Amino acid sequence: MGIIRAAGQAVSGSLADQWLEVIEPDNMGNMTVFTSGVKIRKGQNVKGSGQTVSNGSVIHVYDNQFMMLTDGGKVIDYTAEPGYYKVDNSSMPSVFNGQLKESVRETFSRIKFGGETPVQQKVFYINLQEIKGIKFGTRNPVNYFDGFYNAELFLRAHGTYSIKITDPLLFYREVIPRNAAQVEITDVNEQYLSEFLEALQSSINQMSADGIRISYVSSKGRELSRYMADVLDDDWNRMRGMEIQSVGIAGISYDEESQKMIQMRNQGAMLSDPTVREGYIQGAMARGFEAAGSNANGSMAGFMGMGVGMQAQGTVMGNASSVNLAQMQMQQAAQKQNVQMQPQNPTESWTCVCGTKNTGKFCSECGKQKPAGEWVCRCGTKNTGKFCSECGSPRP
């Protein structure tokens, strides 16, 4: 009991006269993982209601589809190669593996039909394309220790991920509900989503351990996919015949306490710059003068009050400005010292045969080109080495 490949040219040839019906896959959308085969009656381009396959029928398989021929609920033959296949109950299973690995053939050997008389043969299809756009969102904040902020932060993430079915026979046995005619990924995703979110938290924690800043997580979809694959793929492949393909994070948000800590850390980093601190002090003073001028009791009262406040805080503000000024002067001195320590490359002068000293490539008096590698000593001797051959003076 199995299937045999029907030659492409036989679709319109003598073999077509023997077909009872052609089995085509039912509607298979982008989120469909499993669907049944439906009949297209000979001579009519309409789909029949019955699912039972007769001996001699032809099954059509498209690209990125896995077709199973079942009998009494057990798989008796399969193919992952596109084309036309004739049902032949007198033949042995053909098991056309197609793009799938040999592990699928091993799975078939464990769950295949025992060879009894056919009872009710049906055709089912499994989608081998990447199933994209599966939505996820963390129900509770995920902890993330950020070494840059030196703090335990908490984030929420939402986005989409995709899976690919790698062992459709195992997927059929472990994931697809019995007697189902069509299954969308959303119909069976609740359990796997919980496992996905657990793996997501483990993967995010691993990114934290690897020193990735929390603000970079949203742009690390590829790395996150790799982390997720390390956590989930082995179990999902072994238990359900599917694996994670990609993870796309649409957005990350922080809880209220984490936002406060990040803002505090960022403000502290800005105020560590003396120029920023001095600007903040000057701005605060300017805002004070502005507020005093708009005092409801009159600007004079406002300025008097401000004078009292400034007298009380003058020492603190003055000390702060003095510290800022001192640090700015130290920075300027360090920058100046760095400039002075830079190696200088003064242009070497040379004396032309006419006696004119020059620094360019040509003599400014007679226009002659600078001799290649030659120099004239103060004693008047032309040389090419590091010392004068006449008086021993070093080359200037």
pLDDT single digits (tens) 329-347:
676 676 666 555 555 444 5
Length of the chain in residues, anyone? Answer: 396
| Contact call for residues 53 and 123 (beta carbons, < 8 A) | yes
Q: Which two tokens stand for residue 277?
A: 């601190």
Instruction: In the chain, list all ranges with CATH 3.30.479.30.
Output: 131-259
Q: Which residue would you say has higher pLDDT here, 351 or 116?
A: 351
**pLDDT tens digits, 188-224:** 888 788 888 888 888 888 888 888 887 787 777 777 7
Q: Strand 83-88 and strand 58-61: pairing?
A: antiparallel
Phi, psi of 308 (to 5 degrees): -65, -45
Report field, pTM of the whole predicted structure over 0.75: no
Of all residues in the chain, what percent carry a pLDDT higher than 70?
63
What's the confidence (pLDDT) of residue 345? 46
Q: Measuring CA to CA, how many Å separate 368 from each of 32, 238, 275, 355?
A: 85, 84, 54, 12
- CA 89 to CA 118: how far, in whole Å? 8
Q: Is the dihedral of CA 222, 228, 231, 232 positive or negative?
A: negative
Match 């922080």 to its residue by tokens.
254
**pLDDT tens digits, 219-276:** 777 777 778 777 777 788 888 889 888 888 787 787 788 777 767 766 665 555 556 5
Q: Measuring CA to CA, how many Å separate 56 from each of 21, 81, 128, 280?
A: 8, 19, 26, 87
What's the confidence (pLDDT) of residue 173? 87
Q: Is the dihedral of CA 157, 162, 166, 167 positive or negative?
A: positive
Architecture of domain 131-259: 2-Layer Sandwich (3.30)
Q: Which residue would you say has higher pLDDT here, 315 or 259?
A: 259
What's the confidence (pLDDT) of residue 184? 93
What's the confidence (pLDDT) of residue 257? 80
Q: Which residue would you say has higher pLDDT here, 261 or 110?
A: 261
